[in-house]
Structure 1
Amino acid sequence: MFPKYDVIVVGAGHAGCEAAAAAANMGSKVLLITMNMQMIAQMSCNPAMGGIAKGQIVREIDALGGYSGVVSDKSMIQFRMLNKSKGPGMWSPRTQNDRMLFASTWRDMLEATLNVDFWQDMVKSLIVSRGTVEGVVTGMGQHIYGKTVVLTNGTFLNGVIHIGEKQFGGGRMGEKGATGLTEQLVELGFESARLKTGTPPRVDGRSLDYSKMEIQNGDEEIVGFSYLPIDRIKPSQQRHCWVTYTNEEVHGILKTGFEKSPMYQGRIKGSGPRYCPSIEDKISRFAERERHQLFVEPEGWNTVEIYVNGFSTSLPEDVQYKAITMVPGFENCKFFRPGYAIEYDYFPPTQLKFTLETKLIRNLFFAGQINGTTGYEEAACQGLMAGINAHQNALDAEPVVLQRSDAYIGVLIDDLINKGTDEPYRMFTSRAEFRTLLRQDNADLRLTELGYKLGLAKEDRVALVREKKEKIEKIKALLAEFPIEPAQVNDFLEANESTPLIERARAMKLLLRPGIGLKELMTAIPSLEEAINENDQLVLEQVEIQVKYDVYIEKEKELVKKMATLENLTIPESFNYDKLTALSMEARQKLTKIKPGTLGQASRISGVNPSDVQILMVYMGR
């Protein structure tokens, strides 16, 4: 009934969809198995993509040839570029999306992808022989064979949903959990643990009074995620979001439910996301705050359903309802469903290689929340890399690993494998030491050539990038030579509180001044605009960033070169750390467990100190 596949992907969430698409587009024969074909690519929590650091990840996925950026752009109902008041290394795109359109667009794109087959069933176990995975066994008893298997089970592994004192099995509200896999993996020698996450109530937008809330508009310029020329909505078409706040009365009502809270009563054992706490967490941990911000987000173009971002909770539903009706604008609110928490199994990611292949079982890959991450974006990028490397394994080709200096994706995977996580991992710009290099605006310049080389990014993508590079270099060369006389520009400079020229200067020098932008300079000097002759705003923005931040970019590049010295010093996999008694006991234990491939990786393992690295260098004759 089934052929032997190159790649079998288990789970069709954000990680599974990207894994299936990547492997198939690279040439593998792929089977995507999901428990419910109607729930492919669901936005299980908030209907949004991107945000701080997460937006950079989506752009990187797109630059490599993944689908998340395209799907997000096609289903957006609002766009915002966050952190624009800060430097470009902090700018982060975010879309509000139509939940149903997002999922249907993903399915359409997958069905249009050659080499992807689908099967609806639960995978209850793996077929493993001599330390290598050979396929899967489904709930209906089918044995399906494949060269590689990618597990992207999300929150479904032994998932338990909590609402107050009620608890029941499930991977998502209204969907059953997945059983059997955790137990088998533990028997095979894997370490597993529990995490939890939560979601807020969904409410009827017709029952809200928006006049009592602050309106939150989208940007006047829509950039989007994808570098492809996609038809996006116009700024005037965007849906509004709103902001409102809790108050002390809301907090008082919520506190009455603490005695029935599954978290406070110890029924939930797993750690929750520190950076996206429940509303009960917030009022407990930040007792001094009189109010907390809530974002009122529409779920799509043609629905009245509203997502109450910031009100994640697992308190009893009557307490949830009574408290939320005390929020301004929610006095007459009607629930579609209450908030809930979900507890699920994950496998600490120190058990993985940098390819996301497991160390214990060959050709078995983990991606997404099974590795302890939180968020669609973190899951999607892991799925992409697992799909790439599953394809490479199936063909006995070289593995593909992104370094910390290559991409936020590289930072995320490096963090997971070197440090592990005992709480849901979320990406932040602060986690990236090279964030001036890893900007959202240059992901295509960084990664598309690699995607093209792998057969993932197509010809149209790489052609756009090459054309963009040529334009950028041409404009930079012109700016370095273009002369500007004081009479041409002094009125503009004085209007921008910048010192007037007393002699001729090059355009490049003026652009280096704070507060002087390229587009404004071109408008002030028509001959410069005529000479540049470029209407692509993203090209002009890229030129300005590269010119203004050149010194900082070069400093980071030098730091990358220095770090590369350690990355190039390899450590044999069979290295015996126990014989180095000069190493601290913690370092020996961590190094033995993780088995770093290079001194650079060893230096980033939690518990390994600089002195331990020096000892390793000396011992290895470096």
Structure 2
Amino acid sequence: MNYDVIVVGGGHAGVEASLAAARMGQKTLLVSMLAENVGATSCNPAVGGLAKGHLVRELDALGGEMGLITDEAGIQFRILNNTKGPAVRGTRAQIDMDQYRVIARNIVLNTPNLELLQETVDDLLMEGDSVVGVRTSLLNEFSAKKVILTTGTFLRGVVHVGEITQEAGRFGEFAANKLSISLMDAGLTIGRLKTGTCPRIDSSSIDFSVMEEQPGDELPTPFSFRTDRAKFKENKQQLPCYITYTNIDTHEIIEKNFYRAPLFTGQIEGVGPRYCPSIEDKINRFRDKERHHLFIEPQTMDNTECYINGMSTSLPPDVQQAMVHSIKGMENAKIVRYGYAIEYDYVDPTELTHSLETKKVKNLYLAGQINGTTGYEEAAAQGLMAGINAALSLQEKEPLILGRDEAYIGVLIDDLVTKGTKEPYRMFTSRAEYRLLLREESADMRLSKYGHALGLISDEEHAAVEKKIAQIKEGVALINATDYTPNKEFIAFLESIGEERISDKVNAQQIIARKSFTLDKLAKLLPELAKFDDYIQEQILVEAKYARYVEKQQDDIEKMKQNLHIKIPANFDFASVRGFSKEVIDKLEKFQPPTLQAASQISGITPAAIEILHIYIKMSEKKQQAS
């Protein structure tokens, strides 16, 4: 009954947290209501996407499991935004939901130092301001040096289908009603959020012939850097998705039943996700739109059941039937499970430090939807970091805190603990100030050193990353050492590959940086690079194309780090700074930070606010010098 780490909840955050802690040598207990639902994908049958794909790649680079499981259970792989720059591309995979869950459960059951218990946690066991264990609904008590809560939507969860409500953490599963009280008793601030899911359809009742087919990439890209890319591309079987649309009839059916929608009747109190609204919310907010995309996604390789991405709803069953049947290709569709909304408790994430330990309760860590996020990927990223930091604390080592310039995971956690959230938080590339440094394909080069130091990345895996880094550096060095002059021969060569001529001596990097320059052209320009495989050549191309921009971002980061040591003058008038919100002014006036570094560590003070403050300090100094 005694453990180093107890993880409560077996979703994506719980899986990553428990695996990380156990693999770092800690005796770990994962408490989940049902073993068969460990790693369950409760909502859509997909992993990754824009910015979310970055999180999965970073997880993988640190030694997490999500990327590897996705590569094994994936049934379609696509690079989103493939025609745009590499900083905003995102890998997304449709997964076999059943296979994903089975793989995750089996990994948990076969990991040394990790035990699985099927119970419900009702209470935290406390000694003063420290958590020392948990008590279950069966009155079993388990002691632990660290406790990580990854409760998903189960804290006082309530499911809504039309006027009908049920206490549930997920459709058909009991809610965890008592643990919220224990958290409130510990002094943590609790809020209420809402999310939802769509109807599931019997695939045999759908007419796919009238829909737009959306196949996977011809040469699929795996998520994990540890997956054999050549074998993956050769052997991975893929299924298509399909696109159809809502129409005026669909919208009319929904509008006529707004009065029965829990979202509008006051039945739902929690705040829903702004960027993934229910279909009734979309119709209400975007009345000028004549149609909305619906993505019909297979849930398993057998394709017996489909998910209607874009039709999350909590409308009554009869309305769901009518609106589904109004869709082209689904006139005779059979609903096998109705969509529903779910409300649940979450903890204000400003209650946390950057290690994800709570400030008020020592040795208690929170990860996933309990911190106000939405999405498998955001949850898994937090779970991994909570597991790592709990283990590091037990080893009496400093926590692993990733900077905003190091990882999307760093952006995610910093946003949560400094800004908080009043709605389900979702990761976007726009949230990262240093997107060019945080590209998907560079995640292993940025982060595997940490995973290796933690013992989560093997020597062999780390050596492969080191080899990749060395090859890319060699290729980029060759480019930087190569110059061209505008002689007839070279101008003719440029014209032969469809590139504009040059009029002065230029470095190879200047030519490669052109928007029109491709991987095929690189092989012709510098045949010496042929000794590297296609993947490495592609990375060399990206590094060369964006070298100047990356250099500028790195300079900006160094300047910012140096500037953080700048002193804030005594009695500085924070209220005089234009662009500051009242909240920022109130916090700065309350804490009176002596330096920009100290100001940056105040909850809610963003990097942008620090930049503005720095400008005003310099202006203030100039005024004093002038007088």
User: What's the TM-score, normalizing by structure 1?
Assistant: 0.92
Q: What is the identity, as a one-letter code, of the residue corresponding to 1:95?
A: A
More divergent stretch after superposition (231-240 vs 163-172): 231-240
Shift of the alpha carbon at 1:258? 1.2
SS in 2 for 1:232: helix
Return the alpha-carbon distance in structure 1 between the equivalents of residues 473 and 565 of structure 2: 31
Between the aligned partners of 1:613 and 1:484, the Cα distance in structure 2 is 43
In 2, distance between residues paired with 1:180 and 1:588?
A: 38
Q: Equivalent residue of 1:237, what SS?
A: coil
Aligned pair 1:139/2:137, yes or no? Answer: yes
Give the 3 Å change call, closer, same or farther, for CA 123–310 of structure 1 in structure 2.
same
- Alignment partner of 1:55 is 2:53: yes
Matched-pair contact (CA < 8 Å) for 2:45–2:299: yes
Any residues of structure 2 matched to 1:235-274 within 5 Å, and which?
A: 237-274=237-274
Q: What does 1:397-546 align with in structure 2 at a 5 Å threshold?
A: 397-482=397-482, 490=491, 493-500=494-501, 507-522=508-523, 524=524, 528-529=526-527, 531-546=528-543
Q: Which of 102, 122, 125 lines up with 1:124 in the alignment? A: 122
> 2: CA distance between counterparts of 1:347 and 1:590?
21
Residues 141 and 511 (structure 1), Cα distance of their counterparts in 2 relative to 1, 3 Å cut:
same
Are the counterparts in 2 of residues 202 and 338 from structure 1 also a CA contact under 8 Å? Answer: yes
Q: Which amino acid aligns with 2:259?
A: E
- Write the distance in 1 (CA, Å) between the matches of 2:59 and 2:511: 35
Percent identity over the alignment is 44
Match of residue 335 from structure 1 = 335
Aligned to 2:552: 555
> What is the CA distance between 1:564 and its match in structure 2?
1.5
Structure 2 CA distance, aligned partners of 1:335 and 1:444?
42
Instruction: Rate the CA distance shift 1:235–1:555 in 2: closer, same or farther, 3 A.
Output: farther
Please give the alpha-carbon distance, in whole angstroms, between the structure 2 residues aligned to 1:474 and 1:163.
59
Give the unaligned 5+ runs of structure 2: 576-581, 622-627
Which stretch has the larger CA shift, 498-507 or 226-235? 498-507
Letter in 2 for 1:255: E
Amino acid at match of 1:363: N
C-alpha distance in 1, partners of 2:598/2:223? 34
Shift of 1:409: 0.4
Is the partner of 1:264 in helix, strand or coil? helix
- Alignment-derived partner of residue 94 in structure 1: 92
Number of residue pairs matched by the alignment = 606
How far apart, in 2, do the equivalents of 1:502 and 1:372 lie? 56
Query: Taking structure 1 as reference, are residues 120 and 493 closer, same or farther at Cα in structure 2, changes over 3 Å only?
Result: same
Offset of residue 112 of structure 1: 2.9
CA contact (8 A) 1:77 1:233 kept: no
Structure 2 counterpart of 1:251, one-letter code: H
Matching residue's letter, 2:554: K
Greater mean alpha carbon deviation, residues 590-599 or residues 402-411: 590-599
Relative to structure 1, the CA distance from residue 593 to residue 57 in structure 2 (aligned partners, 3 Å threshold; closer, same or farther) is: farther
Output one character per residue of 1:99-132: Cα deviation in whole Å (capped at 9) or x when no partner.
Answer: 0111111122222321111101000001110111
Deviates more, 1:326-335 or 1:229-238: 229-238
Cα separation, 1, equivalents of 2:529 and 2:400: 39
- The answer as to whether partners of 1:272 and 1:424 remain within 8 angstroms in 2 is yes
Q: Which residue of 2 aligns with 1:575?
A: none
- What SS does the corresponding residue of 2:71 show, helix, strand or coil? helix
Alignment-mate amino acid for residue 181 of structure 2: E
Change (3 A) 1:123 1:597: farther
CA distance in structure 2 between the aligned counterparts of 1:388 and 1:237, rounded to whole angstroms = 34
Q: Which residue of 1 aligns with 2:561?
A: 564
**Matching residue of 2:201:** 203
Superposed displacement of residue 537, structure 1: 2.4
* 2:625 aligned partner: none
> Aligned partners of 2:342, 2:166: CA distance in 1, in Å?
10
Q: CA deviation at 1:233?
A: 5.7
Contact kept, 8 Å, 1:566 with 1:599, in 2: the verdict is no
1:219-298, aligned counterparts within 5 Å?
219-230=217-228, 231-232=231-232, 234=234, 237-298=237-298
Please, which runs of 5 or more residues in structure 1 have no aligned partner? 572-578
Structure-2 separation of matches of 1:594 and 1:456: 41
Q: Distance in 1 between matches of 2:186 and 2:236?
A: 56
Larger mean CA deviation between 82-91 and 226-235 belongs to: 226-235
Q: Distance in 2 between matches of 1:568 and 1:359?
A: 25
> What is the TM-score when the length of structure 2 is the normalising length?
0.91
The worse-fitting range, judged by mean Cα deviation, of 117-126 and 297-306 is: 297-306
Query: Once the 2 structures are TM-superposed, how far is the Cα of residue 509 of structure 1 from its aligned partner?
Result: 4.4
Specify the SS of the correspondent of 2:427.
Answer: coil
Q: Are residues 12 and 190 of structure 1, via their aligned partners in 2, closer, same or farther at CA, if it must alter by over 3 Å?
A: same
- Which whole-Å CA distance do the structure 1 matches of 2:504 and 2:290 have between them? 58
Structure 2 distance, partners of 1:538, 1:288, is: 45
134-143 or 492-501, larger mean C-alpha shift: 492-501
Q: Distance in 2 between matches of 1:507 and 1:399?
A: 43
Moved more, 511-520 or 447-456: 511-520
The amino acid of 2:350's aligned partner reads T
Residue equivalent to 2:350: 350
Aligned-partner Cα distance in 2 for 1:275–1:394 = 38
On the 8 A contact 1:519/1:540 being kept in 2, the answer is no
Assess if the C-alpha contact under 8 Å between 2:76 and 2:95 holds in 1.
Answer: yes
1:401-438 residue CA offsets vs partner (Å, 9 max, x unmatched) = 01111100000111111111000000000000100101
How big is the shift at 1:610? 6.5
Distance 2:90 2:592 in 1: 33
Shift of 1:580: 6.5
Measured in 1, the distance between the counterparts of 2:364 and 2:274 equals 30
Paired residue for 1:574?
Answer: none
Q: What is the Cα deviation at residue 479 of structure 1?
A: 2.8
In the superposition, relative to structure 1, how do residues 466 and 581 fare at CA in structure 2: closer, same or farther (>3 Å)?
A: closer
**Counterpart AA for 2:214:** Q
Q: 1:170 aligns with which of 168, 171, 174?
A: 168
Q: Is the 8 A contact 1:582 1:615 kept in 2?
A: no
Q: Does the C-alpha gap of structure 1 residues 58 and 277 become closer, same or farther in structure 2, counting only changes over 3 Å?
A: same
The whole-number CA distance in structure 2 between the counterparts of 1:137 and 1:40 is 20
Seen in structure 2, the aligned counterparts of structure 1 residues 502 and 403 have a Cα distance that, compared at 3 Å, is closer
Contact 1:74 1:232 in 2 (8 A): no
8 A Cα contact 1:296 1:309, kept in partner = yes
How far 1:533 moved relative to its partner?
Answer: 3.6
Which residue is equivalent to 1:148? 146
Contact 1:59 1:443 in 2 (8 A): yes
Deviation at 1:504, TM superposition (A): 8.3
Amino acid at match of 1:329: G
Residue type matched to 2:208 in 1?
Answer: Y
**2:583 match:** 586
Q: 1:279-318 counterparts in 2 under 5 A?
A: 279-318=279-318
User: What amino acid maps onto 2:324 in structure 1?
Assistant: I
1:113 is matched with which residue: 98, 107, 111?
Answer: 111
> Helix, strand or coil for the counterpart of 2:50?
coil
Q: 1:233/1:609 Cα in 2 relative to 1: closer, same or farther (>3 Å)?
A: closer
Distance in 2, matches of 1:491 and 1:208, equals 56
Separation in structure 2 between the aligned mates of residue 413 and residue 99 of structure 1, nearest angstrom: 27
1:183 corresponding residue in structure 2? 181
| C-alpha contact 1:351 1:358 (8 A) present in aligned 2 | yes
Deviation per residue, 1:502-553 (Å, 9 max, x gap)? 798764443233312243331x36xx43x32434322111111111101100
